[in-house]
Every structure is written in C-alpha cells, then in structure tokens.
Chain A
C-alpha cells in the first residue's frame, strides 16, 4: 500500500488542521485503499519553510501550507500567496486561483522544484488585533504593530504605523503590557483561542490579509498515479476550501458574540477606507514586483484580476 506523507503548516490544535485531518480521512475513503494520505502536523518533520526541499529529498511527499513561507527562496512567493491589503473575502481569492491565472502561475514556479501544484485554499481572512480602535488608514499613525517582516510590515509602515517583528510567543504579554498596540497574527477564531481578545479589545475584522493555502505533491509521486486518483485529490481539495471557510464563518460568529460579552468591540472598515489602504498597498506591491520575475508576474496577475472584480480602478 502506498502512503503519502503530507505535512501541514499548522499545529494539531488549529481548527484548520482539524478540517484538513477530516478531509484526509474522506479522501482516503474515496481512494479505496489504492493510495493513502497521512497528514503530519506543522513542524513535526521539517519547518514550514523547508517543505519544498523536503519533498525534493524524498523526506515527505507533499504539503498543505501557506506558500508565503517560501519567500526566502523567491520573494515573489510573498505576493503570490499573501497579498496584504488585497482581497476582502475568500471567494475573491479563490476565484483568482481558479479563474484568474493563479494556479497556472503556481505550477509554473513549482516546476523549478519538480513539484505538482494541486490547488489553492484559504484559511479565513486574517483579523488584526488591536488595543485601540483603528477605524481608518489615518488611525494607523504611530501604532506599534507586530507584523511579519515583508509586504505586511512595509504596508503598515507606509500607512504611518511602526511595524516590528517578534516571535509568536511574545505577542500576548507584549499586547497586555502595551509594548505593542496591535498585532498581525491569525484569523479571528484563532486569535480568540489564543486569548488575545482578553488584552486587545478592538480587532479589525474582515480586512487586511487573506493568505492563500496550497496543496502540492512531489511531481514524481504525482505522475505515477492514474488519472482518476489525480482527479479525486484535485476535486476533493476544492471541497476542503469550502469546508474551511464555511466553518470559519460560522464559528467566528459564535465566538464573536461570546467575546462581545467580555467587552470586545469588533471593528469593520468602510469600503472607502479599504480602498484607501488598497491604494497604499498597491504602491508597496509595485515596489516589491521589481524584486523578482515571479514577483512581477504575481503582481500583474493579481492587479489585473482585481480590476476585473472592480476592487481596483
């Protein structure tokens, strides 16, 4: 019996990991024992940034991850996979991947590493946690915000904030003590599970970044499978996207109601402010697009698609 070891980028406690785990069980049933997928938690074999190499060395067979982790290999991955300030909901990002040239672009770059790109997914929109209400671009002025180095921190910086990097372990007490005013960490549901809502009462919901998740498999392993098995996995992966996002929507609503009783005030940005931020972000994207061939292609692809959707002029 052939087994594929697929490493996720998430820990076992993460709801998206649990969705992936349930999904793997379903796929295995569909495969009827001809092939079996086995999901491994984030970091359990190699770090998230090392999965491409690990597939090449034959250590694992595939990954379900955020390709933004590969920015060290090519800065273009950052723009391809985590366009900060871009899409406002998962259907837009998913549509870009399926119909806007996203998946073709992914496959083009993965060809360099002998990897087959299965498809895109999303893990719910990220929520920026904040200690004070940030309702507009102007409110970002002087805000000390924890952000991963790269596109995110450059966009925050251009909006007048003071972005800084720190480990995930430090976020809670840094927020609590006021070392930082805001943090770019995870989705609303996950932020709440980590307890950030206890120390930062004004989360910005529904806008700032929407990371793409992707599944990929070593090309050698993929090509050795018959067409029907390839098709089962590809089609099923699209279903995972729907499952993750629907459950994120439902549980976010429930958790937010509970958090409100603890004094949390969710902040929603107006379409006008979102557009303002997108214009600033576009400037940063344009700068970043000069850094590599892939970055340039990713920029063109996203911007053209956003124009099609009416998100950009």
Chain B
C-alpha cells in the first residue's frame, strides 16, 4: 500500500464520515484504528492508547484546563461583565461603538488568558446579549465575538506559540514579543472594519439610545468597576513578569485570584462552584478528546512514512522561498478548516520547520505566521472551534450558519493581516530585536 494512496483514503474517509455528522473525535479515532489494524496488525492497536496517554501527560497543556476554569470563575464572579459594562458606557453616540468596545475587551482578555475557548465563551455570555439587545446586526455581533475570542492566541500568553516553540526549538519569549504587534494590527483592522461598516450601514450598529448615554461624571463612576478586572490582570501578568511563577503556574494563580473575587463578592455557592467545575470538564473533555483522535491518527500516519512523503513533496518544489511559504500557508489554512490546531501542529511542523530553516528564513517569524493561520482555523468553517463555543452559549435563534456567515468578513481580514506580516517580516521581528539591544 503506497503512502499516497493511504493518505488520500484517509482524507476521503474523514470528509465523508464528518459530513454524516459523526463526532470528529471518533471519526479520526476510527480511521486511526482501521489504519493501524491494516498496517501493523492487531498487536499494534496499543499504539492508539500509547498516543492518547502521551497526549494527556504533556506538561505544556496543563495550562489549558486552568485557563478554562479561570474563565468559568470570571464569568460567575461578574468580573467579565463589569469590564464590559465599564467600557460600554463610554461608547456613547459612536455608531458600532459597542462592537468596537467588545473588540477592545477581547484584547484585554487575550492578555490575561491564552485560551480561545474560554475567551469566546466569556464574550459570548457577556457581550452577545447586549449587542443583540441594542439591535446590532446579528452576523456582525457573532463575527465580532468569534474573531475577538480567536485573538486570545495572538496576544501573549499564547498556548499555540508555547507549543510551536517546543516543537521548533525557538524561544517562547521571542515568540511572545514577535506576536504582539501582529496581534494589535489584527485587532486594529477589526475595529476599523466595524467602524466603516457601521458608518456605511447605520442599522448594522446603532449608537446607544439617548436614555443610555451617560454624563461624564456618571461615566467616571463606572471606572471603579474596572478595579476588579484590573487587579486580576495585574496579578496574573505580575506573577509572570515579576518572576514569581511560570506561564503554566500563572494560569493557576489566575484561577486563585478569580476564586478570591468570587468569595469576596459572596457569589461562591456550592452550586456555582460545582457548575464552574463541570463546565470546565465538559469544555476540556470535548476539546481534548478531539485532539486524542487526531493524535492517534497522526501516529499511524507517521509510521507509514507519511511525514517523509509530505516533506518530499514540499522539498521537490522548484519555487522561491516566498512561494514555498505561501504554499505552506495555504496547506495550513485548508487543514485549519477540518482539524484543530494541535493536530495540525503535530502533523505539519516537523515537516515545515526544517524546510524553513534550510531556506534561511526566521523560525520566529514563521511561528507568528503559523499562529495567525491557526487563529483563522479557530473560526473557519466547517470545523471552527470558536464558532462551536459561541454556539453553545448563544441564544437559541442564533444558528451555527449565522455564525459561519458572520465570521467570513473577519476571515478575509485575517488573511489580509497574514499577507501583510508575510510581506513585512519586520512587523513581527522588530520588537524582539529592539528589546534585545
């Protein structure tokens, strides 16, 4: 059985089974099992379990449940709501103002956590009802939140970059510095887009009703609501940058801080605690099981020499380095439509990174491109995790199709931003090189 033939069969089977509406975790798992039995035989079936075990014991992923739990606590303590409300009153008569504020809050939340799921859920719970109440266009509202949630990975700390750094052997700190400007570029593009869209179509994003516009003194009063979230951000970032703990531990420190707020506000009940924990379990459960399927499949693909085959394909291309990077980006974007980022990273990076290095390109810059691309994958249909998260907390009349339609303009903006950083690597590389001197 040639690798080429098996690769195509795997892809074909995946698409058919996925379209039948079968859970992705078990689709990839089933294909992995069948392929293992065919290639190695019944004894090799332990491979599936070995891959699963290794995946759940990966230390870098320990931060994921902690950040999700922190998001669940933040949501229950009303901290996210306070943050949003405080910003909300300032948007005043600006058309599209509340959507722009939402994007602003998304950037702030992204600087606290690195988890797209947690951030999307938080924004979906807090901001979406407000946007819909104010008669914002439904698709603009959901698009803003899904894209804003995906920013979680572009503004450090970022789990995607941590994992990339481990795989590529480049420093996480460099990557964090390099991703900051592209992340801000992206959020600026989003805000400009929302502003221009609402200027052209005023009914997409109405200004606040007269009754809700506050005087300056009233506005200033709401600032005290920012103290809570501000302190948490300070605590989390302070514990990282103050040399107290590692990024993984900072996630735990964030949990403890939000837990403390919950206690302080007397909102900690046995029910709220249990539901926060259970929600964390459910969110992490479905995320990780998805990756467990992917990791099983990648194991058997590698044993057949799949990655060697792919890298042979790539290296044989008689193109300039830039064209090869573009081809890689297209491959990543297509994979991003069907797989989660961890699966894509495990599958492609061992192939791409040596090629990038041999072409003399900067792996830090490529890491930022990878991260921007994975940020697209969070919202790109049909498999867009941020869209699924948003759906799970959105009102009943918001369908998954609404969300998919809503994210399309933002995907276009993401592609534009990606192209800009590709053409001008300095956007990514300037900050790390300046800070070094």
Residues on A facing B (Cβ under 8 Å): 5, 11-14, 38, 40-41, 43-47, 50, 53-54, 57-60, 166-170, 172-174, 176-179, 190, 193-196, 198-199
CB atoms of B246 and A59 under 8 A apart: no
- Can you report 6 residue pairs joining A to B where beta carbons are below 8 Å apart? A11-B169, A40-B303, A44-B307, A47-B50, A59-B40, A169-B163
Known: A41-B307, A194-B170. 10 other contacts (CB 8 A): A13-B354, A38-B305, A44-B307, A45-B303, A59-B303, A166-B246, A167-B58, A167-B60, A169-B59, A179-B243
CB atoms of A170 and B248 under 8 A apart: yes
In the assembled complex, the CB of B363 is this many whole angstroms from the nearest CB of chain A, namely: 8
Please give, as numbers and ranges, the residues of chain B lying within 8 Å of A169 by CB-CB distance.
59-60, 162-163, 165-166, 172, 247-248
In the assembled complex, the CB of A228 is this many whole angstroms from the nearest CB of chain B, namely: 27
CB atoms of B169 and A194 under 8 A apart: yes
Q: Mark interface residues in B299-318 (1 if CB within 8 Å of A CB, else 0).
A: 10011010110000000000
In the assembled complex, the CB of A10 is this many whole angstroms from the nearest CB of chain B, namely: 10
State which of B41-49, B209-217, B383-391, B412-420 sits at the interface with chain A: B41-49
Please give, as numbers and ranges, the residues of chain B lying within 8 Å of A196 by CB-CB distance.
171
Q: Taking the complex as formed, is B226 at the interface, i.e. its CB lies under 8 A from any CB of chain A?
A: no
Q: How many residues of B contact A (CB 8 A)?
A: 48
A44 to B346, CA, bound (A): 8
A136 to B305, CA, bound (A): 48
CB atoms of B41 and A173 under 8 A apart: no
Known: A38-B305, A173-B172, A194-B171. A46 touches B350 (CB 8 A): no
CB atoms of A58 and B299 under 8 A apart: no
Please give, as numbers and ranges, the residues of chain A lying within 8 Å of B176 by CB-CB distance.
173
The 5 A-B pairs at the shortest CB distance, nearest first, are namely: A167-B59, A195-B171, A178-B243, A47-B54, A170-B246
By beta carbon, the residue of chain B nearest A49 is B54
Please give, as numbers and ranges, the residues of chain A lying within 8 Å of B41 by CB-CB distance.
58
CB atoms of A167 and B46 under 8 A apart: no
Please give, as numbers and ranges, the residues of chain B lying within 8 Å of A44 by CB-CB distance.
299, 302-303, 307, 350
A195 to B246, CA, bound (A): 17
Q: Mark interface residues in B238-249 (1 if CB within 8 Å of A CB, else 0).
A: 001111111110
Q: Taking the complex as formed, is B357 at the interface, i.e. its CB lies under 8 A from any CB of chain A?
A: yes
A12 to B174, CA, bound (A): 21
CB atoms of A198 and B436 under 8 A apart: yes
A58 to B308, CA, bound (A): 21
Within 8 A of A (CB), among B22-51: 40-41, 43-44, 46-47, 50-51
Please give, as numbers and ranges, the residues of chain A lying within 8 Å of B47 by CB-CB distance.
45-46, 54, 57, 59
Q: Taking the complex as formed, is B168 at the interface, i.e. its CB lies under 8 A from any CB of chain A?
A: yes
Q: Taking the complex as formed, is B173 at the interface, i.e. its CB lies under 8 A from any CB of chain A?
A: yes
In the assembled complex, the CB of A4 is this many whole angstroms from the nearest CB of chain B, namely: 12
CB atoms of A179 and B302 under 8 A apart: no
Please give, as numbers and ranges, the residues of chain B lying within 8 Å of A46 by CB-CB distance.
47, 50-51, 54, 299
Q: Taking the complex as formed, is B146 at the interface, i.e. its CB lies under 8 A from any CB of chain A?
A: no
In the assembled complex, the CB of A182 is this many whole angstroms from the nearest CB of chain B, namely: 14
A57 to B47, CA, bound (A): 8
In the assembled complex, the CB of A167 is this many whole angstroms from the nearest CB of chain B, namely: 3
By beta carbon, the residue of chain A nearest B165 is A169
Known: A40-B303, A44-B302, A60-B303. A13 touches B246 (CB 8 A): no
Q: Taking the complex as formed, is B353 at the interface, i.e. its CB lies under 8 A from any CB of chain A?
A: yes
CB atoms of A177 and B165 under 8 A apart: no
A30 to B273, CA, bound (A): 65
CB atoms of B169 and A177 under 8 A apart: no
Q: Taking the complex as formed, is B201 at the interface, i.e. its CB lies under 8 A from any CB of chain A?
A: no
Q: Taking the complex as formed, is B399 at the interface, i.e. its CB lies under 8 A from any CB of chain A?
A: no
CB atoms of A50 and B307 under 8 A apart: no
CB atoms of A13 and B60 under 8 A apart: no
Complex partner residue of A177 from B43, B166, B240, CB under 8 angstroms: B240
CB atoms of B242 and A177 under 8 A apart: yes
Please give, as numbers and ranges, the residues of chain B lying within 8 Å of A14 by CB-CB distance.
169
CB atoms of A173 and B240 under 8 A apart: yes
Please give, as numbers and ranges, the residues of chain B lying within 8 Å of A40 by CB-CB distance.
302-303
A167 to B163, CA, bound (A): 11
Known: A12-B354, A179-B243. A58 touches B43 (CB 8 A): yes
A176 to B303, CA, bound (A): 38
By beta carbon, the residue of chain B nearest A170 is B246
Q: Taking the complex as formed, is B392 at the interface, i.e. its CB lies under 8 A from any CB of chain A?
A: no
Please give, as numbers and ranges, the residues of chain A lying within 8 Å of B43 by CB-CB distance.
57-59
Please give, as numbers and ranges, the residues of chain B lying within 8 Å of A60 by CB-CB distance.
303
Complex partner residue of B173 from A45, A54, A176, A190, CB under 8 angstroms: A176
CB atoms of B353 and A13 under 8 A apart: yes
Please give, as numbers and ranges, the residues of chain B lying within 8 Å of A178 by CB-CB distance.
243
Within 8 A of A (CB), among B387-430: none
Q: Taking the complex as formed, is B167 at the interface, i.e. its CB lies under 8 A from any CB of chain A?
A: yes
Known: A179-B243, A179-B245, A193-B169. A13 touches B357 (CB 8 A): yes
Please give, as numbers and ranges, the residues of chain B lying within 8 Å of A173 by CB-CB distance.
172-173, 176, 240, 246-247
In the assembled complex, the CB of B212 is this many whole angstroms from the nearest CB of chain A, namely: 43
A259 to B246, CA, bound (A): 26
A58 to B62, CA, bound (A): 31
In the assembled complex, the CB of B310 is this many whole angstroms from the nearest CB of chain A, namely: 12
Complex partner residue of B246 from A47, A174, A198, CB under 8 angstroms: A174
A158 to B242, CA, bound (A): 28
CB atoms of B54 and A54 under 8 A apart: no
A167 to B247, CA, bound (A): 10
Complex partner residue of B54 from A12, A50, A57, CB under 8 angstroms: A50
In the assembled complex, the CB of B36 is this many whole angstroms from the nearest CB of chain A, namely: 9
By beta carbon, the residue of chain A nearest B163 is A169
CB atoms of B246 and A179 under 8 A apart: yes
Complex partner residue of A195 from B173, B240, B307, CB under 8 angstroms: B173
A40 to B300, CA, bound (A): 12
A196 to B172, CA, bound (A): 10
Please give, as numbers and ranges, the residues of chain B lying within 8 Å of A177 by CB-CB distance.
240-243
A5 to B300, CA, bound (A): 12
Please give, as numbers and ranges, the residues of chain A lying within 8 Å of B51 by CB-CB distance.
46
